[in-house]
Amino acid sequence: MRTHYRRRQSISAKWSVRFAFLSAILFVLSSLGHRFERIETPEFLWLLAIVAGLALFAVLLSIKGFTSVWRRGDRGFASAFWGAVIALLVLAPFVTTLYQALALPTIYDVSTDVTDPPELFAAGQRTERMNPLVNDEDSRGLQSSAYPQVTGRRYEGSPDRILTAVNTVIANNGWTIISQRGEPGEDEEILLEVVARTWLMGFTSDVVIRLADEGETTYVDMRSVSRYGIHDLGENADRITAFMTALDAEVQGAQPEEETTQPAQ
C-alpha cells in the first residue's frame, strides 16, 4: 500500500500574515482616529509603538515560516511571503522616522529669532502634558546649525498690508487662528497665534507669527512648537520655511513692482 505524505502547515507562516494584517489595520484605524482628532497624541504614540511591535513580530514569524518551508517542506510559503510584505510596508514609515531622528537634531521648538523668539501668548492652549517651551542656548545652537534657512523677512509696506498677506497664507495652509494681540497702526508689534496640523497624520504644533512695525518696512518672524514628542523630525523648520516662501510670493503679488522684499539682516 502506498503511503501519501501530507505536508504540515507552518504555524509560524500562518500567524505571520495574521499579525501583519493586524498591525496594518491598527495602523490605519489609529492614524485616522488621530487625524480626525478622535485619539489624543500621547495615546496615538503608544498605539504606534504597538503597531511597530506587531509588525516586527510578524517579520520574525515570517522568517521562521520560510525556514520551516525550506528545511522541512512545510506548507505556508504564500502566508510567510505576504506576512513579510505587509509587515515591511507597515514598518517603512518607522524606518524613515528612525533615519530622520538620527540625521536631524533632537529639537521641537524652532524660531526665526533664536535670541528673542516670538511669545506664545494664548492662554489655555498648552497643557502640562505638552512639551515645555524651549529657550536654552543648546537647543537654539542646534537649530542654527541644522536649519540656517529658517530666517525672518523684512518687507516694504505697512503692517496692515503685510498682515493681510499673512492671513491669506494662513488660510491657504488650512491653519486655525487662535488669537491676535496688537492692531496695525496702534501697536508696534502684532502677534498671531495659530494651530497648525500635519496634513497626513495630524500632529499639532502651536505657531506664533510676529509683525514688527519699522516705519517704512515691516519685519516678520515666526515660531513653531510641537505639542508632543521630543523630536519634530524637521517638521517645524520645514513649516516655517514653506510659510515664509509662500508669504514672499503673496506679498510680491500684492505690492507694486517698485516695492521689494528684503531678506533679514
| 56 and 140 together in one domain | no
Distances, alpha carbon 210 to alpha carbons 48, 60, 158, 159, 162, in Å: 35, 51, 14, 10, 11
pLDDT band at 83 (very low <50, low <70, confident <90, very high): very high
Q: Which pLDDT value is given to residue 1?
A: 47
The total of structural domains in the chain comes to 2
Distance CA 77, CA 85 (A): 12
Q: Which pLDDT value is given to residue 123?
A: 63
Mean pLDDT in residue range 58-77: 90
The three three-digit cell numbers of residue 231, written as one number: 523630536
Average per-residue pLDDT in the chain?
90
pLDDT band at 87 (very low <50, low <70, confident <90, very high): very high
| 127 and 231 together in one domain | yes
Query: Domain boundary residue among 42, 70, 103?
Result: 103
| 77 and 24 together in one domain | yes
Query: Domain boundary residue among 103, 130, 159?
Result: 103
Mean pLDDT in residue range 89-101: 97
Range of the domain at 150: 109-263
Distance CA 154, CA 156 (A): 7
In tens, the pLDDT along 191-228 reads 999 999 998 899 999 999 999 999 899 999 999 999 99
Task: Look up the pTM and report it.
Answer: 0.85
| 98 and 114 together in one domain | no
In tens, the pLDDT along 99-130 reads 999 999 999 999 999 999 999 988 667 888 89
CATH number of residue 243's parent domain: 3.30.310.80
